[in-house]
Structure 1
Amino acid sequence: MTTDRPAVTVGVDFGTLSGRALVVAVDDGRELGTAVHPYAHGVVDGALPGGDRPLPPDWALQIPQDWRDVLRSAVPEALRAAGARPEDVVAIGADFTACTVLPTTADGTPLSELPAFADRPHAYPKLWRHHAAQPEADLIVARAEESGQPWLSRYGGRISSEWQYAKALQLLREDPEVYAAADRWIEASDWIVWQLTGEESRNLCAAGYKGIHQDGRYPDDAFLASLHPDFAGFTAKLDHPLSPPGAAAGKLSARAAALTGLREGTVVAVGNVDAHVTAAAAQALDPGHMLAIMGTSTCHIMNSQELADVPGMCGAVRDGVVPGLWGYEAGQSGVGDLFAWSVRTAAPRSYDEEAGRRGITLHELLTEKAAAQPVGAHGLLALDWHSGNRSVLVDHHLSGLLVGLTLDTRPEDVYRALVEATAYGARTIVETFERSGVPVAEFTAAGGLLKNRFLMQTYSDVLNRPVNVLAADQGPALGAAIHAAVAAGAYPDLRSASAAMGRLHRAAYTPDPARAAAYDALYAGYRELHDHFGRGGSDVMHRLRALRAAAAG
């Protein structure tokens, strides 16, 4: 007697500090098994492995072998946890943080793995939060404005230091030898698919949002030459046919099958960006449904039938999230990172001891104490720019601010002020979209921060609207698995796959009218600080950063 076994897909999500694999049933999206593999090197922001020369400020690198180790470890472990066999897997999909980008040879070998370049920081992958290319981003914007580049408005009039062109220009200006050796400049999401199939592929999503690819083309050579004479041919390092979300990139190679424990010939979906695949997992593909993927940072994704110029968003790309619609992206560079900073720096030993006695974490203790306060009781306002501002100012040389400190200020006051500041930042993004003619009909949250109920209730109160939540533990990995199901032909398109395999809890949080009214007054103060320090009222943040960079040598 035989038992029918469900067809499954595997979604692999490559995050900032770890990678995770998820095995999902194709028929209804139920999660059958998962595994997480921490990166051995994490984020390289101090010095290169084995080196002692400090990296400059705002650098953040990664190690490609850490990513391969996720395939080697997490994929077979997740398969075992699911009780699934390799022959049950109809497809595998992968998503990545973006823009995480690396220089390689023509065959995809990372330059950092060549002995000649092992001690050269620019040969390593630059993580999404590598913000050292802000001068290059500023130059791109200035030249685009001067020459009237039509693509600039698609990015809200700003280009981020996190993206492909700014990082590549920094590479050229600071290490032209490594730049010349880089035959390919490739998003990590596409590189990992290259490792799986043995053939290069490029995804439309990353190219559009991180690579300034609009209306079928990249910026022309004349514009690139205006940035640097040797930059004119840069697009050749990117140029490759682009595949839409949910397409098949190829089949699993024999080498990758041996690495992952899967069958050779298994369908491999095209790579994608972590936040964008999560829209399918959260059933947030309809126009006007904004999805906030909340973790160390937050990425906001929303589809629309209309194209509009939205100041400071991170891109409007046709078919970028789902075919047939304009996909918009915005974001906040620091969210969970801010709360972690508060725990590291603001909590005294007595708090640590209390948390230990009670068997809870410092995050949980500070959340509990912060949640017990009435709105405004701490007397503080913060700007959530510790990692710069992604939207709507698109300036990663801005910095955090805390106003209202007194000798009575407690750690939980600072913690709550930072929670509220990130909610104000999200409200600024929502209002900017709506003022630009792109209405936000629903707001859904996903990501690792969902477990903090106080945080999510604060967002509902500050936004003064219901907040839905993704009803799945691994949103990006589930989204990658959904894309894989479409690539395998199990569903005709992403919408039908999302409807069957996605998970959404509607109106999980609803606003309290009294708290919402109190937050309106505080938000007005946040906007005053936001516009003063972010829109030219004072350049002190930039001056302080320049002084820090000069002191660092």
Structure 2
Amino acid sequence: MNVNNERYVIGVDFGTLSGRAVVVRVSDGEELGAAVHEYAEGVIETALPGGGTHLGPDWALQSPRDWVDVLRHAVPKALAAAQVPAEQVIGIGTDFTACTILPATADGTPLCETLPDRPHAWPKLWKHHAAQPHADRINALAAERGEPWLPRYGGKISSEWAFAKGLQVLEEDPEVYDRADRWIEAADWIIWQLCGAETRNVCTAGYKAIYQDGGYPSKDFLAALNPAFADFTGKLGQELAPLGGLAGRLTAEAAGWTGLPEGIAVAVGNVDAHVTVAAADAVRPGQMVAIMGTSTCHVMCSDQLAEVPGMCGVVRDGIVPGLWGYEAGQSAVGDIFAWFVDTSVPASYAERAAERGLSLHEHLTELASAQKVGAHGLVALDWQGGNRSVLVDHNLSGVIVGQTLATRPEDVYRALIEATAFGARLIVETFEAAGVPVEEFVVAGGLLKNRFLMQVYSDILRRPLSVIGSDQGPALGSAIHAAVAAGAYADLGEAAAAMGKRETAAYRPDQERADAYDRLYAEYRRLHDHFADGGMHHRLRSIRNEASA
């Protein structure tokens, strides 16, 4: 192979706590160098930077400076690690969490730069759930009016999405709302910084901003929510760019940040979960990809349009041009395990883990894996971060049933792992009951490292699990989109086949354990349905919020 003739692309994945860049060879998808940059501000949850204004319950913000710093630091480091000439890089692609959205001026300046003491001037991270009352109003009005777009979102839109967050800004800080010429996804804002052109991608518009059949919800509908909200869609942008498309060319300023050649292709923005489909070469109908990390996002393509209860959305061209793209998800998965380890495990466990050179997660996993199915006597609901699918209610909360004075941390840890797998099974069953078959279940994301967890999922789902062949799924997927934008491949299907990586049936279910889990799953469904109306959860949250005011 003549390395002098090779071409390369950069993929940049903007996550919840950090951003990572990877250098990828265009010909075969080989990842040659990577770097991570941790956000200085991370997730802003209690007070604005500098110890300023206090934030209320369920807030989650980010800083745009953190995002630009990823371009300044991670991209040059990845390029240096790859040891490839910068002049052979032909394109850059990016992905973001969503809905992570910010108010900005007409030239793209984030309002938090001029109004740093106003919480609503800052970007709202995907897991900002303080807009739940606004989402509830949107859903109630849409159901009352029979809005045709509502079934495309499983009957409910989420508090995480653009309209609920925008309505919250309007009603809690109308000055910030009025000064925001743009209400723009971070996925599109970062592209603006790279190529100097404002674009809006079809993925975030469709899944997070209720764009269906050529338009957003009507002005009449928005005015019924609040007369001042009628023109909200004017802040969103009307022209949508296709995935894998060319957003523009790298500016001189962005070339200076990244060390990349000015003028290379910049791919249209995208969402972290959705680009991972290409990285796993899972762009065909029936392949559901579960990106499992702090949360889990389930995405898949289909040639059929169906209404799936509780799905996050179905969008034409939303994952791969020419197909319907479906999305569902679980608001917290890895976050649940981290919460439990951080808050509920005795020091003696940490000491024992340290003595053996294990992390606390590894120690608990080892202990949990020694149990037989059902031996802990527990069943849990995976709602510590609310429920994204299929109930679409972020004011729900976790439940653990069956605890006694003999219950140990490893028992609860295993029950929480099982609860997230039960939640995934319910999502798969809901899709198939709606006429959207799941023919292959593909796993990506950081939780792949836990082999016990993967086997539990295979047993509970009663199906083989395929796994992505990359530790950097979103970044690789963004790189694949960059290759298409640069003209190296005709379309995403061709690029995914050449550059994507997947091991089929890496985990297979054990029949005996699967049968035992069916009994526990039946109890999970009973518990799920009992608490599905959220009455007790909502009342408790209301009491908490009043006490915290």
Q: TM-score, normalised by structure 1?
A: 0.98
Which structure 2 residues correspond to residues 31-70 of structure 1 after superposition, within 5 A?
31-70=31-70
Query: 2-side partners of 1:52 and 1:245: how far apart?
Result: 39
1:74 is aligned with what amino acid? A
The structural deviation recorded for 1:251 is 0.1
The structure 1 residue matched to 2:548, chosen from 532, 545, 552, is: 552
Q: Look up the SS of the partner of 1:37 in the other structure.
A: strand
1:61 is aligned with what amino acid? L
Q: Which residue of 2 aligns with 1:81?
A: 81
The structural deviation recorded for 1:241 is 1.1
1:103 is aligned with what amino acid? P
Q: How big is the alpha-carbon RMSD for the aligned residues of Structure 1 and Structure 2?
A: 0.8
Query: 1-side partners of 2:538 and 2:345: how far apart?
Result: 28
Show CA shifts across 1:95-154 (max 9, x none): 00000000000000000001xx11000000000000000111111111111111100000
Conserved 8 A contact 2:53-2:119: no
Residue 30 in structure 1 maps to residue 26 in structure 2:
no
Which structure 2 residues correspond to residues 309-458 of structure 1 after superposition, within 5 A?
309-458=307-456
The structure 2 residue matched to 1:148, chosen from 142, 146, 149, is: 146
Residue 540 in structure 1 maps to residue 536 in structure 2:
yes
1:31 is aligned with what amino acid? E
Conserved 8 A contact 2:285-2:303: yes
Which structure 2 residues correspond to residues 62-461 of structure 1 after superposition, within 5 A?
62-114=62-114, 117-461=115-459
Query: 2-side partners of 1:355 and 1:539: how far apart?
Result: 40
Query: 2-side partners of 1:119 and 1:529: how far apart?
Result: 43
Show CA shifts across 1:421-459 (max 9, x none): 000000000000000011111100000000000000000
What is the total number of aligned residue pairs between the two structures? 548
Conserved 8 A contact 2:395-2:538: yes
Conserved 8 A contact 2:53-2:118: no
1:110 is aligned with what amino acid? P
Q: Look up the SS of the partner of 1:429 in the other structure.
A: helix
Query: 2-side partners of 1:53 and 1:501: how far apart?
Result: 46
2:17 is aligned with what amino acid? L
Q: Percent identity?
A: 68
Q: Look up the SS of the partner of 1:202 in the other structure.
A: coil
Conserved 8 A contact 2:53-2:117: no
Show CA shifts across 1:127-185 (max 9, x none): 00000001111111111111111000000000000000000000001000000000000
**CA separation of 1:374/1:3 partners in 2, compared to 1, >3 Å: closer, same or farther?**
closer
Query: 1-side partners of 2:22 and 2:239: how far apart?
Result: 29
Structure 1's unaligned 5+ residue stretches are none
Q: TM-score, normalised by structure 2?
A: 0.99
1:111 is aligned with what amino acid? L
The structural deviation recorded for 1:53 is 3.7
Show CA shifts across 1:284-315 (max 9, x none): 11111100000000000011111001000000
Query: 2-side partners of 1:51 and 1:335: how far apart?
Result: 30
The structural deviation recorded for 1:5 is 4.7
Q: Structure 1 runs of 4+ off > 6 angstroms?
A: none
Conserved 8 A contact 2:96-2:270: yes
Q: Look up the SS of the partner of 2:103 in the other structure.
A: strand
Query: 2-side partners of 1:3 and 1:357: how far apart?
Result: 47
The structural deviation recorded for 1:342 is 1.1
Query: 1-side partners of 2:90 and 2:237: how far apart?
Result: 30
2:255 is aligned with what amino acid? A
The structural deviation recorded for 1:3 is 5.4
Structure 2's unaligned 5+ residue stretches are none
2:57 is aligned with what amino acid? P
1:81 is aligned with what amino acid? A
Which structure 2 residues correspond to residues 472-483 of structure 1 after superposition, within 5 A?
472-483=470-481
Q: Which residue of 1 aligns with 2:7?
A: 7
